[in-house]
Structure 1
Amino acid sequence: MRHSPVVVAAAIAAAVVLPAGQAGAASGLRDLAAAKGVYFGTAATVSEWNDATYKALGAREANMLTPGNEMKWDTTEPSQGRFNFAPADSLVSAAVAANQRVRGHTLVWHSQTPSWVQNLGATALHQAMLDHINAEVGHYKGKLYSWDVVNEAFNEDGTRRQSFWQQKLGDGYIADAFRAARAVDPAAKLYYNDYNTDGIGAKSDAVYAMVKAFKQQGVPIDGVGLQAHLILGQVPSSMQQNIQRFADLGVEVAITELDVRMTTPSTSDKLATQASDYTKVANACLAVRGCVGITTWGLSDRYSWIPSTFPGEGAALPFDESFQPKPAYNSLYVAYGGTGNPPPPPPPPPGDKTCAATYAIVGQWAGGFQGEVRVTAGSAAISGWTVTWTFANGQTITSSWSAAITASGSAITANNVGYNGPVGAGGSTTFGFLGTWNGTNSAPSPVCTGR
């Protein structure tokens, strides 16, 4: 075993209580990973977990959950001193019910941070950062495994990203954020998290130098998150070596947002390469004692962020849009020691009338933007739907199509029109709108209710 018997025993004990209906079923990745002394996690949003079949799949496969958007600043503190933890609370409650731990994501980031924060002067910005950390970490004290304290603070060449944080507060803000988080919750693991740091290069070298300096200076840092948003066939050859050098500094290493995207449509050859890529990542983590787990950024291609961000690309996750396991899932199953046939997808709950909504900005210009929301039915057909969300940055909707939209301040409610209310099981429909924005146009997390 890669970890001490005590750690392995604790990990296995944390995984043996399965969600209702799973007793006696073939092991999912969570149980196989736990037997290796590591975790297997996934990320999800409230709207995605409204799909009961998908939620059941997550409960079977993952023993660590990362909220996709609900713990970010634009949701938790949309205006100064006014906190909204309800969306994140619902995910934490779901994780507890599924016997999962939670990774907090994320406290300090240049993106999805309200304009009121970005517009503060240096002294007020520093205080706002401390106040936000005190409030959010304090709210979840004792409930989370870890926090991504600071996210994506470096450029590709290893220099500091010139975000509003960096420009106004200088290099010291990262250490200050870690000290503040530790003061509030001494038990939570504190992580620095970034992308394109999976192999050895200028960016990961800079993160390595920072972590090494923090350890020497007594700055409280417990882990480094390697996001691993990878491109097909491009797993860095130095990934294991990179993980090892961070672990040698005395910090945990976790793969925090794994997906492997390809140009769509997928083919059998692409899927085989993707399966090999997932195996390489799993093996790189399993080979290093300090690598504690892997989290994929979602489980199913139905809820992947890739197609809306990288047009023409997708199919990045272990399950397809119909929740069927892909070769990538089978490769992870084998990498974690699974034998025999992997478990089948969980059956849909009887009478499931759930739906999920995904929000995308399809065009943006000075002062205006075009948005689109996709409504996807769960495992049963729905006869109508309502989608709600809250704008965090003062955006307004000026016109819409294929939905009846009303606004109450920043709270938006969209109901189907007659012709697009019925949606078949697993099917989807879209509606769109034009809106205005000023300063920041962050994407909200819509919630869909079917009927």
Structure 2
Amino acid sequence: MTAVSALTAATVALVGLAAPAHAADPVLRDLAATKGVYYGTAVTSSKLSGTYGAITGAQFDSITPANEMKWGTVEPNRGSFSWAGADRVVNFAEANGQQVRGHTLVWHSQMPNWLANGSFSNTELRTIMNDHVTTEVTRYKGRIDHWDVVNEPLNEDGTMRTSKFYTQLGESYIADAFRAARAADPAAKLYINDYNTDGTGPKSNGMYSLVQRLKAQGVPIDGVGFQGHLILGQVPATLQANLQRFADLGVEVAITELDIRMTLPATAAKLAQQKTEFKAVTNACLAVARCEGVTVWGFTDSDSWIPDVFPGEGAATPYDAGFQPKPAYYGIAEALGWTGDGGGGDPGDPVPTTGCAVTYAVQSQWNTGFTAAVTVRNTGNSPVNGWTLRWTWPSGQSVTQAWNATVSQSGAQATAVNVAHNAAIAPGGSAGFGFNGAWSGGNTAPGAFTLNGAACTLALS
């Protein structure tokens, strides 16, 4: 690979990684096992290596493919299946002694174009759905512990969503999908899954009635998944009671997609509250005998969907973008019975920590010049008030113009100093700047950065 292609292929990201956890820190999967539940995470299959893969395998005993088993991914063309991503997830889980939550078989979103925009008779559509469910469940028979058979079937008022399947087939599509899944793998637990059903209210009441109807029809439904996409300060007070009333119907319950987002920047106070709320959600599951476990929807902020969908919000997961445990991680551990310190202490008095994560990306390159972007993230829990970032060029590069920072150079050493509007970086927050540079012969990425004199540990990604 040439220097140019190596730099542009994946934007040559250099990410500063704090240690995933200290040696004395808890292992969530081990703690969960002592409580008789699982603690899982959604994953991106292409990232299951390096630090991301190591934490996934070490900390969690269940994984959910975030996108790799959805209809549009596995059957992009009718009758033509692509299993590569899903296979990677299942193989990884088996290599690490983990369960797999299959997600998801029938959903109104992320359908392939041929299905979403196709015109089919009711009979043909029902056959298409049943064939898809049968094919996917059969492929992983005996290897998937739980399937989200039908995902998000309800409107916010608890009525049935007017999806393609409901519009043509009515509510019976749900029963058909469950029966096809049961026939394909009698051992897998079969779930219905939705969001904004976490506390009591119109939507959860609609789900409750739907589950009652399905059970009355003899539909093989084993569980109800409560996604748990929550907002800081808005965790439902009725969460435990709501889980319990569903469990009393004779079905399992699980928190399937937990994250707790906040308005950025993150602060020590917000992170402490987030810790309390992750702990509370975990405790709610533990208090309900039929609650099987909790899955966080991505364990690291660098793999979270929140910033892309809710601009200005984020920091929603237990690890920061530099793979360092946040207070929320320790809150989960405490709920699962951990009594150590290592960051778990009083939520109102967190142990000060410092750390940084740096992303360096070459955005474009030409014969003698290039444009680069740098993002500096505060991975500690103490604010940074004014910053100086330093690095040494390994190949004789030089900075010719910069924006959002003042950049100077002495020999091979470059120094970037904040400007007024990005001087403060809250815990979990970041600041960015860019520059144009000159190069000749090679444009090798810097191998080390320091922030205010402290090294940012680096790893290629």
Instruction: Give the TM-score normalised by structure 1.
Output: 0.71
> Once the 2 structures are TM-superposed, how far is the Cα of residue 130 of structure 1 from its aligned partner?
0.6
Amino acid at match of 1:262: M
Which range moves more in the overlay, 184-193 or 158-167?
A: 158-167
Q: Distance in 1 between matches of 2:213 and 2:168?
A: 22
1:337 corresponds to which residue? 337
2:6 corresponds to which residue? none
Q: Distance in 1 between matches of 2:374 and 2:126?
A: 40
2:82 corresponds to which residue? 84
1:273 corresponds to which residue? 273
Q: Distance in 1 between matches of 2:207 and 2:145?
A: 22
Residues 232-381 of structure 1: matches in 2 within 5 Å?
232-342=232-342
Q: Distance in 2 between matches of 1:421 and 1:170?
A: 59
1:75 corresponds to which residue? 73
Q: Distance in 2 between matches of 1:107 and 1:230?
A: 24
> Once the 2 structures are TM-superposed, how far is the Cα of residue 342 of structure 1 from its aligned partner?
4.9
2:112 corresponds to which residue? 114
2:47 corresponds to which residue? 48
Local SS of the residue matching 1:218: coil
Local SS of the residue matching 1:91: helix
Q: Distance in 2 between matches of 1:65 and 1:93?
A: 11
1:393 corresponds to which residue? none
> Once the 2 structures are TM-superposed, how far is the Cα of residue 423 of structure 1 from its aligned partner?
7.7
Matched, 1:140 2:140: yes
1:95 corresponds to which residue? 93
Cα RMSD for the two superposed structures: 3.0
Q: Distance in 2 between matches of 1:190 and 1:196?
A: 20
Deviations 1:30-87 (A, max 9, x none): 110110010100000112324x101111111100000010000111100010011111
Q: Distance in 2 between matches of 1:337 and 1:47?
A: 33
Give the conservation status (yes or no) of the 8 Å contact 2:327–2:343.
no
Aligned residues: 343
Deviations 1:271-303 (A, max 9, x none): 111111111101111111011100000111111
Amino acid at match of 1:189: K
Local SS of the residue matching 2:321: coil
> Once the 2 structures are TM-superposed, how far is the Cα of residue 424 of structure 1 from its aligned partner?
6.2
Q: Percent identity?
A: 58
Deviations 1:157-189 (A, max 9, x none): 011111111111111101110011001100000
Local SS of the residue matching 2:206: helix
| CA shift in 2, pair 1:206/1:312, >3 Å | same
1:348 corresponds to which residue? none
Q: Distance in 2 between matches of 1:234 and 1:139?
A: 40
| CA shift in 2, pair 1:268/1:149, >3 Å | same
Q: Distance in 1 between matches of 2:374 and 2:168?
A: 40
Matched, 1:32 2:36: no
Amino acid at match of 1:36: K
Runs of 4+ in 1 over 2 A off after TM superposition: 24-27, 341-344, 418-426
2:421 corresponds to which residue? none
Q: Relative contact order (C-alpha < 8 Å, sep 6+): which is higher?
A: 2
Structure 1: unaligned runs, 5 residues or longer: 1-21, 345-354, 358-373, 377-382, 384-417, 427-449
Q: Distance in 2 between matches of 1:420 and 1:42?
A: 37
1:156 corresponds to which residue? 156
Q: Distance in 2 between matches of 1:198 and 1:278?
A: 14
| CA shift in 2, pair 1:288/1:424, >3 Å | farther
Local SS of the residue matching 1:325: coil
Amino acid at match of 2:229: H
Give the conservation status (yes or no) of the 8 Å contact 1:317–1:328.
yes
Give the conservation status (yes or no) of the 8 Å contact 2:63–2:98.
yes
Q: Distance in 2 between matches of 1:342 and 1:148?
A: 36
Question: Which structure has the larger Rg over C-alpha atoms?
Answer: 2
Give the conservation status (yes or no) of the 8 Å contact 1:63–1:100.
yes
1:182 corresponds to which residue? 182
| CA shift in 2, pair 1:172/1:265, >3 Å | same
Instruction: Give the TM-score normalised by structure 2.
Output: 0.70
Amino acid at match of 1:168: Q
Q: Distance in 1 between matches of 2:142 and 2:320?
A: 35
Matched, 1:198 2:205: no
Give the conservation status (yes or no) of the 8 Å contact 1:126–1:169.
yes
| CA shift in 2, pair 1:284/1:375, >3 Å | farther
> Once the 2 structures are TM-superposed, how far is the Cα of residue 25 of structure 1 from its aligned partner?
6.8
Q: Distance in 2 between matches of 1:28 and 1:223?
A: 27
Q: Distance in 1 between matches of 2:316 and 2:132?
A: 34
| CA shift in 2, pair 1:165/1:235, >3 Å | same
Q: Distance in 1 between matches of 2:374 and 2:277?
A: 31
> Once the 2 structures are TM-superposed, how far is the Cα of residue 120 of structure 1 from its aligned partner?
3.3
Give the conservation status (yes or no) of the 8 Å contact 2:194–2:225.
yes
Local SS of the residue matching 1:242: helix
Local SS of the residue matching 1:255: strand
1:64 is aligned, of 43, 48, 62, to: 62
Local SS of the residue matching 1:241: helix
Amino acid at match of 1:163: S
Q: Distance in 2 between matches of 1:342 and 1:222?
A: 38
Amino acid at match of 1:128: I
Q: Distance in 2 between matches of 1:420 and 1:120?
A: 53
Structure 2: unaligned runs, 5 residues or longer: 1-20, 345-358, 362-372, 376-393, 395-438, 450-459
Amino acid at match of 2:61: N
Q: Distance in 1 between matches of 2:187 and 2:445?
A: 48
Local SS of the residue matching 1:293: strand
Give the conservation status (yes or no) of the 8 Å contact 2:24–2:342.
no
1:11 corresponds to which residue? none
Amino acid at match of 1:142: G
Q: Distance in 2 between matches of 1:89 and 1:48?
A: 14
Amino acid at match of 1:60: A
> Once the 2 structures are TM-superposed, how far is the Cα of residue 420 of structure 1 from its aligned partner?
8.9
| CA shift in 2, pair 1:253/1:375, >3 Å | farther
Q: Distance in 1 between matches of 2:136 and 2:306?
A: 28
Q: Distance in 2 between matches of 1:420 and 1:324?
A: 30
